[in-house]
Each structure stands twice: as C-alpha cells, then as structure tokens.
Structure 1
Amino acid sequence: MDFKDLIKDLKNRQFKPIYLLHGEESYYIDKISDFIEDNVLSDAEKGFNQSVFYGKDSDIMSILNAAKRYPMMSDFQVILVKEAQELKWGKDGEDDKKAPDPLLAYFENPLPSTILVFCFRHAKFDKRKKTYKAIEKKGIIFESASLNDNKISAWIENFVRDKGYNIQAQASALMAEYLGNDLSKVSNELEKLMLNVKLGQEINTTDIQNNIGISKDYNVFELQNAISRKDAFKANQIINYFAENPKNNPIFLVLGNLNSYFSKILKVHYASDKSPQGLARELGVAPFFVKDFEIAARAYNKEKVFRIISYLRECDLKVKGVEASGNTEQGDLMKELLFKIIH
C-alpha cells in the first residue's frame, strides 16, 4: 500500500488487525509507527491499551499473549513491536500437527480489536514465509524501499512543498549530493532549515550554507563546474577547502560524487536521444542541469572519461590503503587526481 493511502486510512480510523512495516528505508516505517502510536488511542486509553515491545528483548509468546487481550474501556488496543527484525520468529508453521505454530495461528485468525504492528527496519521480511502470506491476507504489508540517489532531489522538493516552502533546484541537488539517500537524515536537516526560513520563502544555497554547513562556494557542484571548464585554479581552491574541512567534505563522498558525475558524462556520449528532455531522463536529473553535462561532455571525450573513472578508482584504493600511497595526505591525493583529470 502507498504511504499516503495508508496514513489516510489510519486518519479515517480504518484499521487492520496486523501491520507489517518492512524495508531498507526506515523513514516511512517510523512515520507510520509514530502515527499509530500517537493517534489511534487517546491519552486516557493508552495507559491500559498500548504496549511497546522491542524485538531484541522480547519473545513471540509474550507479544501474542498481549495481542490476545481484549481492550479496557476502548474499542482497540495497540501492540507495537519495534526493531522486529531482531525478534526470533520461530519455525514459520513447520511444527507438527500436535504443536502448530502459535504465531501463524494468530495471524490466520487475529483479534479484530487488536492493532498489532511489526516494525521490521533496515531489512526485508521473507515473502516466501507462511506468516508473510497470512499477514498479507488479514492485514496490511508496507514495504519501504530505499530511494535511488537520482530521486532524492525531487523528494526534497516535494517534502518542502508539502510544508509550504519552495526550494531552488541547485539547492535541492546540493543537499541530495551531500546528505545521500537516508531520508531520516535528509528530513531532519530540512526540518532544522525550515525553522530559520520564513514560511513561503524559496530556500536557496545561501540558506543551506548558513543552516546546514554546506558551503555554497566550495562544494562538489562547484568542483564539478570547475573541472568541466578545466579551471585548475578554482578546482584547487575547492580541494584545499575540502582538505581543511574534512568533516564536512570527506574524501569518500567527494570521490563518490565525482564517479557519479563522470558516469553521467559517459551516458551523454552514448545517449541515443540527445535532446534536453532525453538527456534529463537518461541522466536522472532535472532539465535545469542538462546543459552542464553537455559542456562537460564536450570538454572530455569518451576515452578520457574512461581514464578518469580509472583514476578515481585508483585514488579510492589508495585512500583505503589497498594500494600503497606512502604517507601522502588525502588533500595531496586529491590534488594529484585533479591534475590527472584536467590535463
């Protein structure tokens, strides 16, 4: 079920007796779990009718015994099982007929007045299991998949729009590159940012620099622009800034971003549809950024791009200590890499 549809049903008090929330991305799992915990029962009802278990410290029978209770002075009781991936799930219905699996038996015939929620974070529940199929039949299964890196920028734009703000494409892309696809981390940074920006205002790169700590002048996008123009002076300025601020600009992040950047340039060379719309689809970027990649593709032919990707891998191995680099500082490694890229 879609996240918004699930929340809509919960708001309309259309409950199911079992919810399995699972997947690699914890953001939506936590959002759904928090909504159920905060809104299904009134404060007066929660004392007798809401229980929270943690998988590592709980067992199936304790959870089932709680689930089989009837609510007190309420239409429902809520049982939340957090970190359910740590729970010992039993034999999944494989016991003999004299000792049927109690978990499967409950899932096949759950108590309608109990709302039992399993939060299976950073992992997928095995869809081949009988328990999965039983939940699918009687309850709701929500899978929270990781968002692809090329979709984070659009996610950021939708997030701030839902909060009544707008954000510049450059600013959302900058945040996406630096914060990655951990939606909980991204949303936390956005929430802090919006506390310092007036409602309805367009968020720009200056706001991000002032509130998140990502420099609007010395960042990976400015590095990419300098490289695409073969501006060695500006590129070295940025590399020096990264070396002086390694906490905010870790070399692994820089190398990963440059690898992604040159991989996209390679796609420009091989794209069958080189129209702005076609390249935007191929690269997974907003049309706003297509021109920058076209400029870079003219500066670096296919053969050079292949060599650059090889240089990036060599540098990555040196940083990790797989290939000897002596006592070379990471800043010096980046300068050496930059020279190889531009020349």
Structure 2
Amino acid sequence: MNYSQLEERIRQGEVSPVYLLYGEEHYIIQQLEHAIIDQLLTPDERDCNLTVLDGDPKPEELIGLLETVPFLGGKQVIVIHNTAFFRAAKQDNAEVDESGKSDKSSGRLLKVLADMPDYTCLVLTTIEKVDKRRKLFKQIEKCGIAFEAISFKSWDTKNISQWVQAQLGKRQKKIAANAMEAVLAMVGSMPRISLVFLEAELEKLSLYTGNRTIITLQDLEAVLASVPELSVFALLEAIGQKQVAKALPLLGRQLASGEHPAKLIGLLAREIRLLWRIKEMVATGLPAREIGTRTGLVNYICEKKIKQSQQFGIAQLRQALLSLAQADTDFKSSQANEAVLEEIVIRLCHNTTIPSKP
C-alpha cells in the first residue's frame, strides 16, 4: 500500500487502532498524522481528546493513556513523536528499557495493543530506522498499520502519478496526460525536490485554472515557467521533435524571466551528457531497465530519454557539449550574448554539427 492509498483509506473512514509511521519523508508522516486526526476529531474535540507527546512515556504510563476514557465520550487520539520504542533491541527476542533491564510492563503493553479500546487511536512516529524484529513492531503489523514513508526521490512513476492526482482531486481538479508527462519528467530531472514544493506548485495551478477542471500542459508551462527543469524538459522535447519555432521561444522565456545563461547551459549540458550516455548504452544492446538502473532514472523517464537520444548523432551531441562549454566560459568572461545559445538550439534542431570557435 502506498501513501496515496493509505491516505484515501483514512479519509474514507477506515482508521486502524494503532499506526507506526516511520521513514525519511517527514512530510508524508505529517500528512498521514493530520489525516488521522481530522478523521477522528473535530476541531472542538481536540483540546480534550488529542494528546501529543514528544518522546516516549514509560510503558505503564502509555497503557494508562490508552485505557483512559475520553472526555464526554467519543474518540481520543494519542500521538507520540520521535518514538524510540523501535530502536534495535539490546537483547535478542527481549524488550528492554533504557537501563538495559527487561521491562515486564512491555508485555502488558503488547496485550493492550492487541485489544485496543475502541475509543482510542495511537499514532507513533519516527524518522529513525526501526528494528522490525521487535515484538512491538510485529504486534503493530498484526493489529494496526506500520507504514514506511520512503524518500520522495525513491518513488516510482506510478506512485508519483497517484500522489499528484490525489492532490489535485482534493482541489476538484484533473490533469491532462501530456501535462502529467511533463510533471513526471520535471520530477525525474530535478536533483533535489520536496513534496512541500510540489504541493505548493499544484496549489498554484489549481488557483490559476479557476473554475476549469482540467489542468493542461499550457497551464503547467505558464505557472511553472520559473522551474528550469520543466522548461529544459519542454525545450528538449521541442529539439527532439525538430521544432525550432517552439524551441526558441522556450529558450527566450527562460532568459527573459531572469534565469542566468550559465544555469541553463549547465542544465542543457547535463541533459546532453545523459542522452549521449544513454545512446551509447543502447548501442551495446542494454535493455531499458538496465539503462534505468545505471542512470538512476525511473522506467518512464528512462524510456522517454531513450527515444530522445535516438534523434541525435554522437558527433552532434559531442559538438553541442563543446559549444556549451565554450559558451559557459564566454558568458562568465562577458564575451558572449544570448545569440550563442540560440545558435546551439537551432543547430540541434536541424541535426547539424556546431563549428568550434576559431
């Protein structure tokens, strides 16, 4: 079960009695925690029926909290941040406290978790690694949900797509297929990206489109024009399709927005090196999955890059890199203007090599 599926299940009212939310992606942990609280408690109920602790209470104290009947009935939610209950055990097959002595009360805690009061939901969170051999972890797997929030950069294309669609669905929006392709390519091209950033951009798209339900590629390009990776993706798409009339305005838009030419040169050079490398691997007969593994690209993006690489010859890519390197030097010494980049794009679109600077 991925994040989007778990969040949807919670929002549909399928709430388990106990959750362990752990892993690198703190944003996901927070979102799931909020979804659980929102589902079980109204804002007015939270003052009395929501308990949030930073760190673990003693097992007997936690048992007391779990068994305490909520004020005025209803549900109660107990959240423990930064839990250490799931660190590697100091003794095999034993639950131990910080002193290293066997803690008998942990046995009772296991029993309480196995038969949780129907008025209590326990949420434990940590960004640390957990020891899945712990009895407590195994008990939560049996009676609740242990969910690992893996780093966003490790998500596969399907999970990213589902997350984007879920976020837009909350805003009564849908996204066109080619716009989704651009989002996936942008995410795959960015060396670092956070879900916080991506959600903020989706919110901008939602506001920009107003009463329209479908978000188009044109909407995406208009709202995310300041994201170089998206513009470079669109630029490479236009170059790969030999659409110079489309490629030049895309380049001009980035330069007009104040993006420094050196940054665009760096992004273009990185993409061209990647296409060259992929082209050589294809020539040796490597399958797409292996190429994806070696380049660190998810399957969808890898297939896209393989198709793009076939539009260029090795000599053309080599000359493009040399020209970009020279342009970078010239821009840094104030000996070049934007026409240099335009010439490189035109020659790539026309499948011609770029002459070296005399």
Shared fold (TM-score greater than 0.5)?
yes
Q: Matched residues in 2 for 1:194 and 1:32: separation?
A: 22
Residue in 2 aligned with 1:61?
58
Equivalent AA in structure 2 for residue 245 of structure 1: E
Residue in 2 aligned with 1:47?
47
TM-score norm. by structure 2 comes to 0.62
The alpha-carbon deviation at position 196 of structure 1 amounts to 1.9
TM-score norm. by structure 1 comes to 0.65
Q: Matched residues in 2 for 1:139 and 1:331: separation?
A: 65
Residue in 1 aligned with 2:299?
284
Residue in 2 aligned with 1:20?
20
Gaps of 5+ in 2: 90-94, 289-296
Residue in 2 aligned with 1:81?
80
Q: Matched residues in 2 for 1:230 and 1:170: separation?
A: 17
Does 1:220 pair with 2:232? Answer: yes
The alpha-carbon deviation at position 106 of structure 1 amounts to 1.9
Does 1:117 pair with 2:132? Answer: no
Residue in 2 aligned with 1:278?
none
Equivalent AA in structure 2 for residue 61 of structure 1: K
3-state secondary structure, aligned to 2:208: coil
Q: Deviations over 1:135-194 (max 9, x none)?
A: 222321122333446557734663446754343444334334445553332222112211
Does 1:143 pair with 2:148? Answer: yes
Equivalent AA in structure 2 for residue 189 of structure 1: E
Q: Deviations over 1:264-323 (max 9, x none)?
A: 54565456789xxxxxxx973389x85x8546424224x987x79998xxx8xxx9xxxx
Equivalent AA in structure 1 for residue 140 of structure 2: I
3-state secondary structure, aligned to 2:226: coil
For 1:100, which of 84, 103, 107 is the aligned residue? 103
Does 1:158 pair with 2:165? Answer: yes
Q: Matched residues in 2 for 1:206 and 1:219: separation?
A: 12
Residue in 2 aligned with 1:322?
none
Does the C-alpha gap of structure 1 residues 26 and 309 become closer, same or farther in structure 2, counting only changes over 3 Å?
Answer: farther
- 8 Å CA contact 2:86–2:134 kept in 1: the answer is no
Equivalent residues in 2 for 1:166-185, closer than 5 Å: 166-179=174-187, 180=190, 182-185=194-197
Equivalent AA in structure 2 for residue 297 of structure 1: Q
For 1:197, which of 209, 230, 254 is the aligned residue? 209
Report the count of equivalent residues: 312
Gaps of 5+ in 1: 275-281, 320-324
Q: Matched residues in 2 for 1:152 and 1:260: separation?
A: 24
Q: Matched residues in 2 for 1:26 and 1:97: separation?
A: 29
Q: Matched residues in 1 for 2:227 and 2:9: separation?
A: 42
3-state secondary structure, aligned to 1:79: strand
Residue in 2 aligned with 1:279?
none
Q: Deviations over 1:202-222 (max 9, x none)?
A: 323432343333379992124
3-state secondary structure, aligned to 1:19: strand
Equivalent AA in structure 1 for residue 299 of structure 2: G
Q: Matched residues in 2 for 1:293 and 1:135: separation?
A: 44
3-state secondary structure, aligned to 1:207: helix
Q: Matched residues in 1 for 2:273 and 2:108: separation?
A: 51
Q: Matched residues in 1 for 2:202 and 2:184: separation?
A: 11
Q: Deviations over 1:36-75 (max 9, x none)?
A: 1122023443222111223xxx343397254453322224
